[in-house]
Structure 1
Amino acid sequence: MEEIGDSPLVDEMKLVENKTIEFERNLDQFKKTLDFEEDRLTKLTMKRENLQKEIDSMYQDILMEKEKYRKTIENVIEEREKIAEECHINLTENVSSLSLIEKCESKVEASKEINYNIDVDIEKIRCDLMENYISAKEDFLTTMKNQIQQQKKKLSFDNPTL
């Protein structure tokens, strides 16, 4: 009579049991890796949200600066209108006074130059702010790309069967 330990069915059961144990170990390792990567993803998501908040804050700062310069321009325009009105009054009251005419003309020219300089400054600031914004976006995207590549490398290294 054949012993039970030598039967092919017992051998097959031992093989299945060993494979099951190995599979469970691999599954546990995969779960740990998955938990770790989910943790990392959560942290990266938080970093991304913080960066988005910073970008939003920068954008709000840009809007505030834009509003500030808009008000400055409005004030300059009002001042220019006042100067033009002064010139008109002076011209009508003192038509024969050439010195008053020259004074008004110089004020108008000065206000034009001020307007031009303000326009140039506003354009420079706008360009600088946009460059900073674009640079921050590029840095953010590069960081995210590098982190994703590192995760892919880590996943493929830690578990090449995935």
Structure 2
Amino acid sequence: MTKLNKLKWVVAIAAAFFVGTTFTSKVSAATINNDYALSSNQGSSLRTSNNVIIAHATAVYAPAKNVAIYENREWSNTTAYVQYVVGDGGKIYRVGAEGYQAWGAGSWANANAPVQIELAQTYDNAEFHKDYVTYVNLLRSSAIKYGIPTDVDSSAWR
């Protein structure tokens, strides 16, 4: 399977969660914490094509705040960061700027994703539910904002 096909599957799986699921929380009501956002002279200065929204998981059991702090502090050393980290009971932490390349998913994905979002892992079921609802709503609202289809059977994937 090619990298592009794998990416399409990842985005399609994330998009599948958009379809047929009712969420009571709205992203517009969510507050974004900008305490760990990169400054205007940090991160990539390259604009993205607006073709996909990248859905990540942190792959470590650490508070989302710690992930955001780490990405803010180490972005130039690790050459890795995303626009948002979601966790800690439904909180959103901004790291990178929307519409500019983040360094979280490989060269094609980075160039084609105006938004990349990390979901922090947790052992707490109630916390995970809050995180997941916020995560999916942020994925959905980001896709809508950039004109990216949110349905799995979109002609964009054919």
| Fold similarity call, TM over 0.5 | no
Higher percent of residues as strand:
2
TM-score, scaled relative to structure 2: 0.22
Instruction: Compare relative contact order (CA 8 Å, sep 6+) and give the higher one, 1 or 2.
Output: 2
TM-score, scaled relative to structure 1: 0.21
Bigger radius of gyration among the two: 1
